Amino acid sequence: MPRRARDTIHSNTYRFFVDPASFDGPRAQVSDPELVHQMSVVLRLGRGDRVVLLDGLGWQYVVTLEQVRRREPISGVVELREPAGGEPRLALTIYLPLIRAERFEWALQKGVELGAAAFVPTICARSAEAAPDGRKLARWRRIVREAAEQARRGRLPSLAPVIPFADACRQAESSDLALLLWEGGNAPPLAGALRDRCPLTLALLSGPEGGLTGDERRNAEGHGIMPVSLGPRTLRAETAPIAATAVVMYEFDAPGDT
């Protein structure tokens, strides 16, 4: 298929992340009840409509729908399988502190749109929010999926279980580069810390409303995590990691192979 034709198809079709098991050779089947409802009832798709299904592993499939019924699996024929694209080479993990629900969800959504590969909700000493229940986790996963579809991501970012800040520091030190957003004095600017580096994995940690404690900073530094500054202004807890993500992606967002 000519490239212009492929681009037209992709820009004018709905995109959905589905289970990789949805594909069986030349056929595809969507069984997730939420997606079935969205496709059949909300969007009113029908036989002959074309969609792009993504397996979340880096592949996308152009599928012509054959059977669309409410409350029943949706099936179709795979016309094309190709790399999904839309992913940076850098794998960025954001250790996102538990903050007020609407602000956490906003940061989660924007982080996905900007290209983060993974999110780890983190409990800090000054976290005001309790660990999420199953219903809230399901809502967060839906936010991640919908934001990834809207942003034309090729892979579905992961959402890890909630962990304490100390465990986040232990995890983050295995990255090629680990940074801690710190509003105190003496921290070098983020942009300067990124200069002349070529990491493939980067961990970004930040604090909740009220900020991180001195003990948390010392714990992070003990694991080789570098404190960095976003400037002289104090940013909200949901703004700081997203502003930092934008800077990181500006510096390192070269397209990946898939």
- Residue 4: pLDDT above 50? no
The answer to whether residue 258 sits within a structural domain is no
- Measure the CA–CA gap between 238 and 99, rounded to whole angstroms: 8
Tell me the per-residue pLDDT of 170-199, one tens digit each, with 9 for 90 and over.
999 999 999 999 987 788 999 999 998 999
Instruction: Please check whether residues 78 and 100 belong to one and the same domain.
Output: no
> Domain of 232: which CATH number?
3.40.1280.10
What whole-number distance in Å separates Cα of residue 229 and Cα of residue 170? Answer: 21
- Report residue 95 as tokens: 């250790």
Q: Which residues contact residue 49 at a Cβ distance below 8 angstroms, ignoring those fewer than 6 apart?
A: 64, 65, 68
Same structural domain for residues 235 and 108?
yes
For residues 127 and 106, what is the distance between their CA atoms, to the nearest angstrom? 17
Average pLDDT over residues 151-164: 94
% pLDDT > 70, the chain: 93
Looking at the structure, do residues 107 and 213 belong to the same domain, yes or no?
A: yes
- Based on the fold, state whether residues 133 and 181 are members of the same structural domain: yes
pTM: 0.85
pLDDT at 7: 43
Q: Check residue 11 and give its pLDDT.
A: 55
| Structural tokens at position 88 | 């940076």
pLDDT band at 138 (very low <50, low <70, confident <90, very high): very high
User: Of 67, 83, 99, which closes a domain?
Assistant: 83
DSSP 91: E
The CATH number assigned to the domain holding 28 equals 2.40.240.20
Question: What average pLDDT score do residues 91-97 get?
Answer: 97
Q: Of the candidates 23, 48, 83, which is a domain's last residue?
A: 83
Domain edge (last residue) among 83, 101, 119 = 83
Backbone angles phi, psi at 184, to 5 degrees: -75, 180
Confidence (pLDDT) at 50: 95
Q: Is residue 156 part of a domain?
A: yes
The β-bridge partners of 57 are 155
Are residues 111 and 214 both part of a single domain? Answer: yes
Lowest mean pLDDT among 77-81, 86-90, 176-180: 86-90
- Over its C-alpha atoms, the chain yields an Rg (Å, rounded) of 20
Same domain, 131 and 74: no
* Dihedral sign from CA coordinates of 159, 148, 199, 191: negative
Q: Please tell me whether residues 195 and 117 are part of one structural domain.
A: yes
Residues 59 and 115 reside in one and the same domain: no
Please report which helix (H) or strand (E) contains residue 137, including its range: helix 134-150
Give the single-character DSSP code of 190. H
Domain range for residue 23? 3-83
Same domain, 98 and 26: no
Q: Do 126 and 72 sit in the same domain of this protein?
A: no
| 140 in the same domain as 79 | no
Tell me: do 60 and 182 sit in the same domain. no
Output the pLDDT for position 216.
96
Each residue of 18-56: pLDDT tens digit?
999 999 999 999 999 999 999 999 999 999 999 999 998
Maximum alpha-carbon separation in the chain: 62
The confidence score (pLDDT) of residue 131 equals 81
